[in-house]
Structure 1
Amino acid sequence: MQKDQLLTRRRMLIAGAAALGTAGTAGLFASRTGGTPAPVTAPAAPGPQARAALNKPSAYRLRPLTGDGVPHARPRGVAVRTEPILEMPADGRTMVLTFDDGPDPRYTPAILDTLDEHGVRAMFFVCGEMAAENKELLARMADDGHIVGNHTWSHPLLIQCDRNQIRSEMVRTSDVIEDAYGERPKWFRAPYGAWNRAAFQLGAEMGMEPLAWTVDSTDWTTPGTGTVVDRVENGAAPGVVVLSHDAGGDRSQSVQALRQYLPFLLDNGYHLTVPRRHPA
């Protein structure tokens, strides 16, 4: 699919998400500071053509980062929520950085390099069709201590999908993540931030908690590196979950912005890490 067609599809789906919504959805994404509904996240572009040769993930051993499961163990069920988690416990000025829609070999490695340089762990909500083509990047995420979450297979608007379609999108993605990352995901995020009852129920059945965000970096609109940096730095606060992207379009601004705001956050005493347990 050509780039202009992808952009048109992206705009149409975002508009559809805003128009259709779900019962009570607007209230679910209120900012912890201003009470304003969070913008809808951009969709992932369909995965690039399969690369000619994929490097086989090297052998690795993953220590479970959340819950008390072991690699390749099926996750326990969790309580069915009626709204997504928007923030994390604010113990010790903790913040969580999240990246959606990848992994993308053009941008994800640079993001991983920057996180590693500063000793920071993050969460990556991956799309199955991207993960299947870039399994070595998921293996690296495991080695580096990051958490990989489920962002569906093809990034559809879930409120336009039936229950079987949603289940397929989630299960296929979890299968790829387990194969490449070492364990099934314990977190998921709805594409476009458009949740519905079936997504909450199916996610819980698969042992996954629904995570939204507190601060949208707006990098999906490619507003300029400075704007992305300002959004993150101005929104910084204990417990904040930051939404960014490592795929779904030109993410060079996301890469450059991370290199700027990450040292700022660390210098201001924020502990950037991943959750080790599900919030109550």
Structure 2
Amino acid sequence: MKEDKQSIPGRRAMLRLAACLGAAATVHLVTADPAESPVGPTPAKPRPAAGPPQASAPLKPSAYRLRPMTAHAPPKSVPARPPVRRKPFLTMAAPGRTMVLTFDDGPDPNYTPDILKTLRRHGVRAMFFVCGEMAVDNPDLLREMADDGHVIGNHSWSHPLIPKLSRSRIRSQLGSTSEIVEKTVGEPPCWYRAPYGAWNRASFEIGADLGMEPLGWTVDTLDWTEPGTSTIVRRVRAGAGPGVVVLSHDAGGNRSQSVRALRTYLPELLDQGYRITVPNA
């Protein structure tokens, strides 16, 4: 019994030593760098000697990351296709007393230059829905339209009755005209108008495929019937109003009445506070 009492302090000392050694091992495991910890039989790498921090090498692009990027590069951007309409725009929504003047069938060297001159004199822009067969023979007039800020629209190649054509011929009529406009002025038309205002589903769908919106009119001057200059002026006066789209012609026959009428009603509209403009302007 005496020997057991004397051995108790010794056992207590051994327990305290074991606890200290266990705590030290725990601290080492918590603070050790995982990259330096040996895995399996591989010995740990020694720490480098202390010294000034070394500049890290510049990062290089990863081929793994570049390959998917280049392999799936997006195609060349193209203009968004407009939604397919079931009927053309007949008016143009814009704030205030805004009107749009449009001229079909040109360009014609006999009448288009005088119309451009009148528009330029009053500092206004208009829309010209051109026929491809006229545009290809008068590229300088197309460029003059573009230089003056007018909108060039597509009025087919040869002014056919669209609903009587097959889809392939409609596409040819519209596509060929868009191509000659783009080749001449650098960008294709964004608007088109069916000859005679005769639309059908195919024309709306094909026009949208070619990136164009359909535009009709609100006021028809019927100038193609050559009713007289005063009659054309009277029709424009009677139909004037916010958002109105006026239809006239600068080709397809004798358009001298249309030229003279524009000289009369344009300054009147401006004096009445109308803003003559083009879409998105």
- TM-score category of the 2 structures, normalised to the smaller one: 0.7 to 0.9
User: CA distance change for structure 1 residues 74 and 105 in 2, over 3 Å: closer, same or farther?
Assistant: farther
Partner of 1:57: none
User: Which 4+ residue blocks in structure 1 deviate beyond 4 angstroms?
Assistant: none
Structure 2: any 5+ residue segments left out of the alignment? 1-76
Pick one of 152, 160, 169 that aligns with 1:165. Answer: 169
Pick one of 218, 235, 239 that aligns with 2:239. Answer: 235
Partner of 1:176: 180
C-alpha displacement of 1:76: 2.3
Are 2:271 and 1:259 aligned?
no
Are 2:242 and 1:223 aligned?
no
Q: Distance in 2 between matches of 1:75 and 1:215?
A: 31
Partner of 2:144: 140
Q: Distance in 1 between matches of 2:116 and 2:82?
A: 30
In the alignment, residue 127 of structure 1 is paired with which amino acid?
C
Pick one of 209, 215, 220 that aligns with 2:213. Answer: 209
Structure 1: any 5+ residue segments left out of the alignment? 1-72
C-alpha displacement of 1:74: 5.1
Q: Distance in 2 between matches of 1:210 and 1:267?
A: 30
Partner of 2:126: 122
Q: Distance in 2 between matches of 1:74 and 1:226?
A: 46
Q: How many residues align?
A: 205
C-alpha displacement of 1:75: 3.4
Partner of 2:43: none
Partner of 2:117: 113
Kept in 2: contact 1:76–1:206 (CA 8 A) = no
**Percent of residue pairs identical:** 66
Are 2:191 and 1:187 aligned?
yes
Partner of 1:62: none
In the alignment, residue 91 of structure 1 is paired with which amino acid?
P
TM-score calculated relative to the size of structure 2: 0.72
In the alignment, residue 244 of structure 1 is paired with which amino acid?
S
Q: Which has the higher helix share?
A: 2
Are 2:201 and 1:200 aligned?
no
Written as runs of structure 1 = structure 2, the 5 A alignment for 1:63-78 is 75-78=79-82
Partner of 2:252: 248
In the alignment, residue 147 of structure 2 is paired with which amino acid?
D
CA-to-aligned-CA distance 1:169-206 (integer Å, 9 cap, x gap)? 00100000001122100000000000000000000111
TM-score calculated relative to the size of structure 1: 0.72
Q: Could you say which structure has the greater relative contact order, defined with CA pairs below 8 angstroms and 6 or more residues apart?
A: 1
